[in-house]
Amino acid sequence: MTTDAANGGDGGSAPTTSSSATPSILATPSEVTVHPLVLLSVVDHHTRVARDTRKRVVGVLLGEVGSGGRVDVTNSFAGD
């Protein structure tokens, strides 16, 4: 990613993204690994919030995208 300051600007404007810095997360992952604690957390949150209903639950999955499009989900947080 480059900024205006790096391109001779005053640095006061928002950063701009060059086309060569396209993140690999936009591609379809070739493999997804979800750690057991993440699965337990998701099921626990659903059980507490939406048991016996058609209500949706919201949360965040955290992890990283490795080489070759491999996604590793290592943590999660429940939403309200």
pLDDT tens, position by position, 14-70:
555 444 555 555 678 889 999 999 999 999 999 999 999 999 999 999 999 988 889
Assess if residue 17 is contained within a domain. Answer: no
Largest CA distance in the chain: 60
69-80 average pLDDT score: 92
Assess if residue 4 is contained within a domain. Answer: no
Q: How confident is the model at residue 11 (pLDDT cuts 50, 70, 90)?
A: low
Assess if residue 19 is contained within a domain. Answer: no
The whole-number pLDDT of residue 19 equals 47
DSSP single-letter state for residue 1: -
Neighbours of 13 (CB within 10 A): 10
pTM greater than the 0.95 cutoff: no
Assess if residue 46 is contained within a domain. Answer: yes
Range of the domain at 53: 24-78
Assess if residue 2 is contained within a domain. Answer: no
The total number of structural domains in the chain stands at 1
Q: DSSP per residue over 6-74, as a string?
A: TTTS-S-SPPB--GGG--GGGSPPSEEEE-HHHHHHHHHHHHHHHTTS-----EEEEEEE-GGGEEEEE
The whole-number pLDDT of residue 37 equals 96
